[in-house]
Amino acid sequence: MLTFLVIKCHNRGEKLQIKGKEIHELKVIQELTVSFKSANSFDDIYNGCKIIFEKHLPYDSIMIFIFDFLENLQIKTKVGLEISIDKDDSNPNKNKLLRSLFNDKTMRSFHNWKEEKELQKIFFKSPQLMSVSIIPLMSKNSILGFITIGNSTKYEFSEEENRLFQILSQMISYYVENLLFQENLLKQNEELKNITRQMRHDFANDIQSITMAIELLITTELSEEQEKFTKILNKAKNAAIEKLHELKRLKNKFEKNVELSLGLTIDK
């Protein structure tokens, strides 16, 4: 299956004005792409975002929040003003609120953040921030996290700014989801190795016990009927040994470290 990440940029040759600063939209996207390609961990992704956000985007606050596997929202990158995170995670309706706000997968802007008490409990408090825009990081069917953009004065995000952050959120979502996939695949690979290793160990012990029992039977005086069953057992034992060898061959073939190499290899 081929997966295409398509990013459309309007007026790529023009500069984007953000708070009086000229921003090269394509340059931001290119630098983020280069950073993500060399990322080997989630920290690499978030640190790359932090460096590029600080370099290019003149907002008073930029943060990336990510859900963990227990659906707790954790801050991963912070640029700009100091903020206060509410450690009280007892709000039972927080995820319901987030689903209702972002079920259409679009960003939301708030022009008096001090009044957004419920969202402050989920994200952050800051007496210095007035306007806040929240952009969801989406997989196909899930909210992975959010980017929050804050300004200390009332600020109207332009259509071009909204488009830029939709593009950036798609890029971050894609690479976070891809890294999650890799981590899960590597974890499953290790679990498969452990299961196979244990199965081979137990299987070998069982065959050894059967072999010892057959050898003991052969040295004793047996009736014709008992000798017949002993031959059947010995034949089954040999077949089991052959299957154990086949399992070892399959182990050597498939239990390699997953490198996740895709595409056409051209190095010879």
Query: pLDDT digits over 54-66, tens only?
Result: 999 999 999 999 8
Average per-residue pLDDT in the chain?
80
DSSP code at position 249:
H
Q: What is the pLDDT of residue 266?
A: 43
Q: What is the mean pLDDT of residues 38-49?
A: 88
Mean pLDDT of 194-214: 75
Q: pLDDT confidence of 153, banded at 50, 70, 90? A: very high
SS3 letters across 31-66? HHHHHHHCCCCHHHHHHHHHHHHHHHCCCCEEEEEE
- 63 or 87, which is more confident? 63
**Class of 16-181 in CATH:** alpha beta
Dist. CA 113–CA 125, nearest whole Å: 8
pLDDT at 10: 47
Half-sphere exposure of residue 112, counting CA atoms within 13 Å on the CB side? 1
Once rounded to an integer, what is the mean pLDDT over residues 190-203? 73
pLDDT class of 70 with cuts at 50, 70, 90: confident
pTM, whole model, 2 decimals?
0.66
- The confidence score (pLDDT) of residue 150 equals 94
At 136, the pLDDT band (50, 70, 90 cuts) reads: very high
Predicted local confidence at residue 110, as pLDDT? 93
Q: Are 176 and 66 in contact (CB under 8 A)?
A: yes
Beta carbons within 8 Å of 69's beta carbon, 6+ residues apart: none
Element (H, E) at 102: helix 94-102
pLDDT at 193: 74
Q: Residue 131 pLDDT > 90, yes or no? A: yes
Look up residue 49 and give its two tokens: 């975002």
Distance CA 173, CA 137 (A): 5
Nearest alpha-carbon partner for 18 in 163, 214, 116: 163
Distance CA 49, CA 148 (A): 13
pLDDT of residue 149: 94
